[in-house]
Protein backbone atom coordinates (compact mmCIF):
# COMPACT_ATOMS: atom_id res chain seq x y z
CA UNK A 1 0.00 0.00 0.00
CA UNK A 2 1.01 3.59 -0.52
CA UNK A 3 1.62 5.56 2.65
CA UNK A 4 -0.79 8.28 1.53
CA UNK A 5 -3.53 5.61 1.27
CA UNK A 6 -2.72 4.30 4.75
CA UNK A 7 -2.72 7.83 6.13
CA UNK A 8 -6.19 8.43 4.68
CA UNK A 9 -7.59 5.04 5.72
CA UNK A 10 -6.32 5.25 9.30
CA UNK A 11 -6.87 8.99 9.56
CA UNK A 12 -3.32 9.67 10.62
CA UNK A 13 -3.69 13.21 11.86
CA UNK A 14 -1.67 15.01 14.51
CA UNK A 15 -3.91 16.99 16.85
CA UNK A 16 -1.90 17.15 20.09
CA UNK A 17 1.74 16.83 21.23
CA UNK A 18 1.58 13.37 22.81
CA UNK A 19 0.31 11.01 20.11
CA UNK A 20 2.71 8.19 20.82
CA UNK A 21 0.32 5.60 19.40
CA UNK A 22 0.80 7.13 15.97
CA UNK A 23 4.52 7.45 16.68
CA UNK A 24 4.82 3.73 17.48
CA UNK A 25 2.80 2.80 14.39
CA UNK A 26 4.72 4.95 11.90
CA UNK A 27 8.07 4.07 13.48
CA UNK A 28 7.23 0.38 13.09
CA UNK A 29 6.24 0.90 9.47
CA UNK A 30 9.66 2.46 8.88
CA UNK A 31 11.64 -0.14 10.86
CA UNK A 32 9.88 -3.47 10.44
CA UNK A 33 12.78 -5.19 8.66
CA UNK A 34 15.94 -3.60 10.03
CA UNK A 35 16.41 -5.45 13.29
CA UNK A 36 14.85 -2.97 15.72
CA UNK A 37 11.16 -3.70 15.16
CA UNK A 38 10.89 -5.06 18.72
CA UNK A 39 11.02 -1.51 20.04
CA UNK A 40 7.81 -0.58 18.22
CA UNK A 41 5.82 -3.66 17.11
CA UNK A 42 3.71 -4.55 20.19
CA UNK A 43 2.51 -1.01 20.99
CA UNK A 44 2.03 -0.38 17.26
CA UNK A 45 -0.16 -3.48 16.87
CA UNK A 46 -2.16 -2.56 19.97
CA UNK A 47 -2.73 0.96 18.68
CA UNK A 48 -3.73 -0.34 15.25
CA UNK A 49 -6.34 -2.66 16.80
CA UNK A 50 -7.82 0.25 18.78
CA UNK A 51 -7.81 2.40 15.67
CA UNK A 52 -9.71 -0.21 13.65
CA UNK A 53 -12.35 -0.39 16.39
CA UNK A 54 -12.70 3.39 16.60
CA UNK A 55 -12.96 3.77 12.83
CA UNK A 56 -15.15 0.66 12.39
CA UNK A 57 -12.81 -0.84 9.82
CA UNK A 58 -14.14 -4.29 9.00
CA UNK A 59 -11.08 -6.37 8.14
CA UNK A 60 -8.80 -7.95 10.73
CA UNK A 61 -6.27 -5.29 11.83
CA UNK A 62 -3.14 -7.37 11.24
CA UNK A 63 -0.20 -5.01 11.17
CA UNK A 64 1.58 -7.12 8.53
CA UNK A 65 -1.28 -6.55 6.09
CA UNK A 66 -0.04 -3.00 5.57
CA UNK A 67 3.45 -4.13 4.58
CA UNK A 68 5.42 -3.52 2.47
CA UNK A 69 4.67 0.18 2.21
CA UNK A 70 5.32 2.36 -0.82
CA UNK A 71 6.70 5.56 0.72
CA UNK A 72 5.13 8.19 -1.53
CA UNK A 73 6.32 11.05 0.70
CA UNK A 74 8.72 13.79 -0.41
CA UNK A 75 11.69 12.41 1.53
CA UNK A 76 11.59 8.62 2.02
CA UNK A 77 14.36 6.79 3.88
CA UNK A 78 17.18 5.32 1.76
CA UNK A 79 16.52 1.74 0.66
CA UNK A 80 20.09 0.63 1.39
CA UNK A 81 21.18 2.72 4.39
CA UNK A 82 24.82 3.02 5.43
CA UNK A 83 24.24 3.90 9.10
CA UNK A 84 21.50 4.45 11.69
CA UNK A 85 20.80 7.71 13.49
CA UNK A 86 18.25 9.19 15.87
CA UNK A 87 16.78 12.68 15.54
CA UNK A 88 16.08 14.42 18.89
CA UNK A 89 14.53 17.88 19.29
CA UNK A 90 13.87 17.17 15.64
CA UNK A 91 11.87 20.27 14.71
CA UNK A 92 10.69 19.86 11.13
CA UNK A 93 13.47 17.50 10.06
CA UNK A 94 16.37 19.61 8.80
CA UNK A 95 18.92 17.21 10.28
CA UNK A 96 17.00 14.19 9.02
CA UNK A 97 16.98 15.61 5.51
CA UNK A 98 20.73 16.26 5.61
CA UNK A 99 21.67 12.83 6.95
CA UNK A 100 19.25 10.91 4.75
CA UNK A 101 21.01 12.58 1.83
CA UNK A 102 24.21 10.99 3.15
CA UNK A 103 22.66 7.52 3.26
CA UNK A 104 21.53 7.45 6.88
CA UNK A 105 18.45 5.68 8.23
CA UNK A 106 16.54 7.49 10.99
CA UNK A 107 15.33 4.93 13.55
CA UNK A 108 13.88 7.20 16.25
CA UNK A 109 12.50 10.74 16.34
CA UNK A 110 11.38 13.01 19.15
CA UNK A 111 9.81 16.47 18.87
CA UNK A 112 7.41 18.03 21.37
CA UNK A 113 5.74 20.78 19.29
CA UNK A 114 2.80 19.25 17.46
CA UNK A 115 2.77 21.84 14.67
CA UNK A 116 6.34 20.77 13.92
CA UNK A 117 5.20 17.15 14.17
CA UNK A 118 2.64 17.87 11.44
CA UNK A 119 5.32 19.19 9.10
CA UNK A 120 7.66 16.33 9.94
CA UNK A 121 5.04 13.67 9.23
CA UNK A 122 3.96 15.32 5.97
CA UNK A 123 7.51 15.14 4.61
CA UNK A 124 8.89 11.90 6.06
CA UNK A 125 5.80 9.79 6.78
CA UNK A 126 6.69 9.41 10.44
CA UNK A 127 5.14 10.90 13.59
CA UNK A 128 7.77 11.93 16.16
CA UNK A 129 7.47 10.84 19.77
CA UNK A 130 6.69 13.71 22.14
CA UNK A 131 8.25 15.03 25.35
CA UNK A 132 11.78 13.69 25.63
CA UNK A 133 11.71 13.98 29.41
CA UNK A 134 9.05 11.24 29.42
CA UNK A 135 10.94 8.89 27.10
CA UNK A 136 13.00 6.18 28.73
CA UNK A 137 16.43 5.64 27.25
CA UNK A 138 15.61 1.92 27.29
CA UNK A 139 12.87 2.51 24.70
CA UNK A 140 15.27 4.03 22.18
CA UNK A 141 16.80 1.67 19.58
CA UNK A 142 20.52 1.16 19.12
CA UNK A 143 22.03 3.67 16.73
CA UNK A 144 25.37 4.79 15.33
CA UNK A 145 24.81 8.53 15.42
CA UNK A 146 22.77 10.74 17.76
CA UNK A 147 21.73 14.14 16.43
CA UNK A 148 20.10 16.91 18.47
CA UNK A 149 19.52 20.63 18.11
CA UNK A 150 18.86 20.91 21.84
CA UNK A 151 17.44 24.02 23.58
CA UNK A 152 19.83 25.81 25.90
CA UNK A 153 18.32 26.23 29.34
CA UNK A 154 20.02 27.93 32.30
CA UNK A 155 22.13 25.54 34.33
CA UNK A 156 21.97 25.68 38.10
CA UNK A 157 25.33 24.19 39.04
CA UNK A 158 25.27 22.70 42.51
CA UNK A 159 28.34 23.10 44.67
CA UNK A 160 30.53 20.02 44.58
CA UNK A 161 31.82 20.60 48.10
CA UNK A 162 28.28 20.61 49.49
CA UNK A 163 27.47 17.36 47.71
CA UNK A 164 30.63 15.78 49.05
CA UNK A 165 29.71 16.83 52.59
CA UNK A 166 26.31 15.18 52.14
CA UNK A 167 27.86 12.03 50.73
CA UNK A 168 26.16 12.52 47.36
CA UNK A 169 27.45 11.91 43.87
CA UNK A 170 28.82 14.99 42.22
CA UNK A 171 29.51 13.97 38.62
CA UNK A 172 28.78 16.36 35.79
CA UNK A 173 25.76 14.33 34.71
CA UNK A 174 24.26 14.83 38.15
CA UNK A 175 24.78 18.58 37.92
CA UNK A 176 22.77 18.93 34.70
CA UNK A 177 19.54 17.51 36.11
CA UNK A 178 16.51 19.70 35.52
CA UNK A 179 17.69 20.74 32.04
CA UNK A 180 16.91 19.25 28.65
CA UNK A 181 20.63 18.68 28.16
CA UNK A 182 20.39 16.15 31.00
CA UNK A 183 17.99 14.07 28.88
CA UNK A 184 20.50 14.06 26.03
CA UNK A 185 23.27 13.06 28.42
CA UNK A 186 21.30 10.18 29.96
CA UNK A 187 20.48 8.82 26.47
CA UNK A 188 24.11 9.11 25.38
CA UNK A 189 25.22 7.39 28.59
CA UNK A 190 22.79 4.49 28.11
CA UNK A 191 23.06 3.94 24.34
CA UNK A 192 26.72 4.90 23.76
CA UNK A 193 26.35 6.00 20.12
CA UNK A 194 29.64 5.96 18.27
CA UNK A 195 29.19 9.61 17.34
CA UNK A 196 26.90 12.47 18.34
CA UNK A 197 26.24 15.84 16.74
CA UNK A 198 24.77 18.66 18.84
CA UNK A 199 23.81 22.11 17.57
CA UNK A 200 23.00 25.30 19.46
CA UNK A 201 23.20 29.09 19.32
CA UNK A 202 26.74 30.44 19.23
CA UNK A 203 26.27 32.24 22.56
CA UNK A 204 26.31 28.86 24.27
CA UNK A 205 30.11 29.18 24.30
CA UNK A 206 30.07 32.42 26.31
CA UNK A 207 26.91 31.90 28.39
CA UNK A 208 27.37 32.53 32.14
CA UNK A 209 31.06 33.41 31.72
CA UNK A 210 31.65 30.15 29.80
CA UNK A 211 30.52 28.05 32.79
CA UNK A 212 27.58 26.53 30.87
CA UNK A 213 29.71 25.33 27.98
CA UNK A 214 32.37 24.04 30.35
CA UNK A 215 29.74 21.98 32.16
CA UNK A 216 28.35 20.60 28.89
CA UNK A 217 31.74 19.68 27.45
CA UNK A 218 32.96 18.16 30.73
CA UNK A 219 29.78 16.10 30.99
CA UNK A 220 30.29 14.74 27.48
CA UNK A 221 33.95 13.98 28.16
CA UNK A 222 32.99 12.21 31.37
CA UNK A 223 30.70 10.00 29.28
CA UNK A 224 33.71 8.85 27.28
CA UNK A 225 33.82 11.09 24.21
CA UNK A 226 36.42 13.16 22.42
CA UNK A 227 34.87 16.56 21.74
CA UNK A 228 35.28 18.76 18.64
CA UNK A 229 33.40 22.05 18.42
CA UNK A 230 33.31 25.11 16.20
CA UNK A 231 31.04 28.06 15.47
CA UNK A 232 29.96 27.78 11.83
CA UNK A 233 28.19 30.34 9.65
CA UNK A 234 25.44 29.30 7.24
CA UNK A 235 26.12 32.26 4.92
CA UNK A 236 28.54 30.13 2.86
CA UNK A 237 25.76 27.65 2.05
CA UNK A 238 22.67 29.88 1.88
CA UNK A 239 22.30 33.68 1.62
CA UNK A 240 21.81 34.10 5.38
CA UNK A 241 24.22 35.08 8.16
CA UNK A 242 23.50 32.37 10.72
CA UNK A 243 26.14 31.38 13.26
CA UNK A 244 25.68 28.22 15.29
CA UNK A 245 27.94 26.13 17.46
CA UNK A 246 28.30 22.52 16.36
CA UNK A 247 29.62 19.96 18.86
CA UNK A 248 30.78 16.56 17.62
CA UNK A 249 31.62 13.72 19.99
CA UNK A 250 33.45 10.49 19.08
CA UNK A 251 33.29 7.53 21.43
CA UNK A 252 36.84 6.99 22.72
CA UNK A 253 36.56 3.24 23.20
CA UNK A 254 35.41 2.79 19.60
CA UNK A 255 37.74 5.18 17.77
CA UNK A 256 40.75 4.72 20.08
CA UNK A 257 41.22 8.51 20.25
CA UNK A 258 42.12 8.47 16.57
CA UNK A 259 39.10 9.79 14.69
CA UNK A 260 41.05 12.43 12.69
CA UNK A 261 37.98 14.65 12.33
CA UNK A 262 38.01 18.15 10.82
CA UNK A 263 35.15 20.56 10.25
CA UNK A 264 34.30 21.39 6.62
CA UNK A 265 36.34 24.05 4.86
CA UNK A 266 34.47 27.24 4.08
CA UNK A 267 33.25 27.09 0.46
CA UNK A 268 33.81 30.10 -1.76
CA UNK A 269 30.25 30.83 -2.80
CA UNK A 270 28.85 34.22 -3.84
CA UNK A 271 25.30 33.68 -2.62
CA UNK A 272 22.66 36.36 -3.15
CA UNK A 273 19.31 36.75 -1.45
CA UNK A 274 17.69 37.70 -4.75
CA UNK A 275 18.31 34.18 -6.04
CA UNK A 276 15.84 32.61 -3.59
CA UNK A 277 13.03 35.18 -3.92
CA UNK A 278 9.66 34.58 -5.56
CA UNK A 279 9.17 36.86 -8.59
CA UNK A 280 5.49 37.51 -7.80
CA UNK A 281 4.77 37.18 -4.06
CA UNK A 282 1.26 37.70 -2.76
CA UNK A 283 0.34 41.21 -1.72
CA UNK A 284 -0.37 40.08 1.84
CA UNK A 285 3.39 39.92 2.52
CA UNK A 286 3.81 43.67 1.88
CA UNK A 287 3.88 45.65 5.13
CA UNK A 288 0.88 47.84 5.87
CA UNK A 289 1.44 51.59 6.20
CA UNK A 290 0.83 51.37 9.95
CA UNK A 291 3.39 48.61 10.49
CA UNK A 292 6.01 50.20 8.24
CA UNK A 293 5.63 53.58 9.96
CA UNK A 294 5.85 51.90 13.36
CA UNK A 295 9.09 50.09 12.47
CA UNK A 296 10.68 53.27 11.12
CA UNK A 297 9.71 55.29 14.19
CA UNK A 298 10.86 52.48 16.49
CA UNK A 299 14.27 52.47 14.80
CA UNK A 300 14.59 56.26 15.10
CA UNK A 301 13.81 56.20 18.83
CA UNK A 302 16.40 53.55 19.54
CA UNK A 303 19.02 55.22 17.34
CA UNK A 304 18.59 58.43 19.35
CA UNK A 305 19.27 56.41 22.52
CA UNK A 306 22.40 54.93 21.02
CA UNK A 307 20.92 51.48 20.59
CA UNK A 308 21.27 49.36 17.49
CA UNK A 309 17.71 48.08 17.37
CA UNK A 310 15.80 48.44 14.16
CA UNK A 311 14.53 46.80 11.02
CA UNK A 312 16.78 45.14 8.46
CA UNK A 313 16.18 46.33 4.90
CA UNK A 314 18.11 43.67 3.06
CA UNK A 315 20.67 44.08 0.29
CA UNK A 316 19.34 41.71 -2.34
CA UNK A 317 22.83 41.23 -3.79
CA UNK A 318 24.16 39.95 -0.48
CA UNK A 319 22.99 37.75 2.39
CA UNK A 320 20.34 38.46 5.03
CA UNK A 321 20.40 38.75 8.78
CA UNK A 322 19.61 35.66 10.85
CA UNK A 323 16.07 34.36 10.44
CA UNK A 324 14.54 33.98 13.91
CA UNK A 325 11.48 32.20 15.31
CA UNK A 326 9.94 35.62 16.02
CA UNK A 327 9.87 36.50 12.31
CA UNK A 328 6.11 35.97 12.27
CA UNK A 329 5.59 39.07 14.44
CA UNK A 330 6.63 41.75 11.98
CA UNK A 331 9.42 40.37 9.80
CA UNK A 332 11.61 43.28 10.83
CA UNK A 333 14.98 41.50 10.80
CA UNK A 334 14.70 40.59 7.10
CA UNK A 335 12.66 43.01 4.97
CA UNK A 336 12.67 42.87 1.17
CA UNK A 337 12.73 46.31 -0.54
CA UNK A 338 10.14 46.84 -3.26
CA UNK A 339 9.95 49.53 -5.91
CA UNK A 340 7.33 52.23 -5.29
CA UNK A 341 5.78 50.40 -2.32
CA UNK A 342 6.43 49.41 1.27
CA UNK A 343 8.93 46.59 1.85
CA UNK A 344 7.67 43.08 2.41
CA UNK A 345 8.51 40.13 4.57
CA UNK A 346 9.71 36.81 3.21
CA UNK A 347 7.13 34.22 2.24
CA UNK A 348 7.27 30.87 4.09
CA UNK A 349 8.65 29.23 0.94
CA UNK A 350 11.43 31.81 0.79
CA UNK A 351 12.20 31.12 4.45
CA UNK A 352 12.47 27.43 3.59
CA UNK A 353 14.93 28.24 0.80
CA UNK A 354 16.87 30.51 3.14
CA UNK A 355 17.47 27.46 5.32
CA UNK A 356 18.37 25.26 2.35
CA UNK A 357 15.15 23.22 2.07
CA UNK A 358 14.21 22.07 -1.45
CA UNK A 359 10.98 23.37 -2.94
CA UNK A 360 9.29 19.96 -2.71
CA UNK A 361 9.38 20.27 1.08
CA UNK A 362 5.72 20.42 2.17
CA UNK A 363 4.56 23.31 4.38
CA UNK A 364 1.22 22.08 5.82
CA UNK A 365 0.82 24.74 8.54
CA UNK A 366 -0.17 28.39 8.71
CA UNK A 367 2.26 31.16 7.74
CA UNK A 368 2.86 32.07 11.39
CA UNK A 369 3.68 28.50 12.35
CA UNK A 370 5.89 28.12 9.27
CA UNK A 371 7.86 31.24 10.22
CA UNK A 372 8.42 29.79 13.70
CA UNK A 373 9.47 26.43 12.30
CA UNK A 374 11.98 27.69 9.77
CA UNK A 375 13.30 30.27 12.23
CA UNK A 376 14.04 27.43 14.66
CA UNK A 377 15.51 25.14 12.03
CA UNK A 378 19.04 24.47 10.82
CA UNK A 379 20.79 25.34 7.58
CA UNK A 380 20.40 21.98 5.87
CA UNK A 381 23.37 22.12 3.44
CA UNK A 382 25.70 23.29 6.26
CA UNK A 383 24.70 20.35 8.45
CA UNK A 384 25.07 18.02 5.48
CA UNK A 385 28.61 19.36 4.97
CA UNK A 386 29.39 18.59 8.62
CA UNK A 387 27.84 15.16 8.13
CA UNK A 388 30.12 14.51 5.16
CA UNK A 389 33.12 15.04 7.43
CA UNK A 390 31.71 12.55 9.92
CA UNK A 391 31.16 10.06 7.10
CA UNK A 392 34.82 10.39 6.15
CA UNK A 393 35.70 9.15 9.63
CA UNK A 394 33.23 6.30 9.16
CA UNK A 395 34.88 5.37 5.87
CA UNK A 396 38.34 4.90 7.35
CA UNK A 397 37.58 1.28 8.17
CA UNK A 398 36.89 2.18 11.78
CA UNK A 399 33.19 2.02 11.06
CA UNK A 400 33.17 -1.03 8.81
CA UNK A 401 30.61 -2.91 10.90
CA UNK A 402 27.77 -0.47 10.26
CA UNK A 403 26.49 -1.93 7.01
CA UNK A 404 26.17 -5.34 8.65
CA UNK A 405 24.20 -4.00 11.62
CA UNK A 406 21.64 -2.33 9.38
CA UNK A 407 20.37 -5.62 7.94
CA UNK A 408 20.26 -7.56 11.19
For residue 404, the model assigns a pLDDT of 45
Domain boundaries, the chain: 1-72, 81-267+381-406, 273-375
pTM over 0.85: yes
CA distances from 376 to 20, 322, 355 (A): 23, 11, 10
Backbone angles phi, psi at 371, to 5 degrees: -60, -45
At residue 135, the pLDDT reads 94
Distance in angstroms (rounded) separating the CA atoms of residues 50 and 44: 10
Catalytic-residue membership of 106:
no
Provide the 10 A C-beta neighbour count for residue 251: 18
Any idea which fold 81-267+381-406 has?
A: Rossmann fold (3.40.50)
Beta strands in 222-346 (DSSP E): 225-233, 243-251, 335-338, 341-345
Three-state secondary structure call for residue 407? coil
Question: What CATH architecture is 273-375?
Answer: Alpha-Beta Complex (3.90)
Along the chain (408 residues), what's the average pLDDT of each consecutive run of 10 residues? 95 84 96 91 95 88 93 96 96 98 97 95 96 94 95 51 46 68 94 96 84 90 96 96 96 91 90 95 96 88 65 91 92 93 97 98 97 97 98 71 46
Instruction: Note the residue count of the chain.
Output: 408
Identical fold between 81-267+381-406 and 273-375 = no
3-class secondary structure, 294: helix
Of the candidates 135, 152, 160, 316, the residue annotated as catalytic is 152
Q: What is the pLDDT of residue 123?
A: 98
Contacts of 216 (CB under 8 A, 6+ apart): 176, 181, 204, 247
- pLDDT value for 205: 85
Asked if residues 384 and 98 have their Cβ atoms less than 8 Å apart, the reply is yes
Amino acid sequence: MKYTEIRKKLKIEITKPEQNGLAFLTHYFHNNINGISQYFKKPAAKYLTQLHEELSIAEEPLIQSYLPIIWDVPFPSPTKPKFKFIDLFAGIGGFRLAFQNLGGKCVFTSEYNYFSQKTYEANFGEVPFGDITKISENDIPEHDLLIAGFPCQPFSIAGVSKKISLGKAHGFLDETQGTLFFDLARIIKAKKPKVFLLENVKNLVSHDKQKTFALISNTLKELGYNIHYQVLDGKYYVPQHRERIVIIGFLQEHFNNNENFTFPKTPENALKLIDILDPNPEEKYTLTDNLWNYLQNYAIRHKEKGNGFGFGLTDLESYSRTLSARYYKDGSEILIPQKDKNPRRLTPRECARLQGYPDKFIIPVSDNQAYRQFGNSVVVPLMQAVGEQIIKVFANGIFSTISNTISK
